[in-house]
Homo-oligomer: A and B are copies of this chain.
């Protein structure tokens, strides 16, 4: 798009995951700029092309640390690859993700939260976590395809 300003990551976010380094700032900024979910490799390539190369291991390390610090959401695509997404706030959300372009829309997850909570409460299980993923093809990507009947 024409009018998107480069969004930079709040510097304190870098500090959250340890020492504040050039590379971490770069990776974080790239993650913030990315609109949907991105894979570590995609981010790595993006940085390469953008002229700010960061080692692949460092990209992985940074993303993993961000996820551990609840600064990023993580999902797995169908191939088992992990996709990361910057999360400004600490709130727990669920997304509808386009399987073609990675575009993600936050969805109203109230009902699922309540449902998951009820299951957790009525079960004897401890420490119940839940993952919910909605995936489909977004309108733009859908238009790009001729669909066989």
Which residue of the partner chain B has the closest CB to A139? Answer: B124
A112 at the interface (CB under 8 A from B): yes
Count copies of this chain in the complex: 2
A148 at the interface (CB under 8 A from B): no
Stretch at the interface among A42-50, A54-62, A85-93, A125-133: A125-133
Q: Is the CB of A126 within 8 A of B136?
A: yes
CB distance from A55 to the nearest CB of B (A): 22
Q: Mark A97-126, 1 if CB is under 8 A from B, else 0.
A: 010000001011001101110011001111
A115 to B126, CA, bound (A): 25
Q: Is the CB of A133 within 8 A of B130?
A: yes
A69 to B107, CA, bound (A): 30
Residues A123 and B111 in contact in the complex (CB < 8 Å), given A80-B80, A96-B128, A128-B96: no
A12 to B124, CA, bound (A): 37
User: Which residues of B lie under 8 Å from residue A138 when comparing CB positions?
Assistant: 124-125
User: Which residues of B lie under 8 Å from residue A119 when comparing CB positions?
Assistant: 96, 107-108, 134
A98 to B76, CA, bound (A): 20
User: Which residues of B lie under 8 Å from residue A111 when comparing CB positions?
Assistant: 111-112, 114-115
Q: Is the CB of A139 within 8 A of B125?
A: yes
Among B114, B123, B124, B136, the residue within 8 A (CB) of A125 is B136
User: Which residues of B lie under 8 Å from residue A105 when comparing CB positions?
Assistant: 123
CB distance from A143 to the nearest CB of B (A): 10
A137 at the interface (CB under 8 A from B): yes
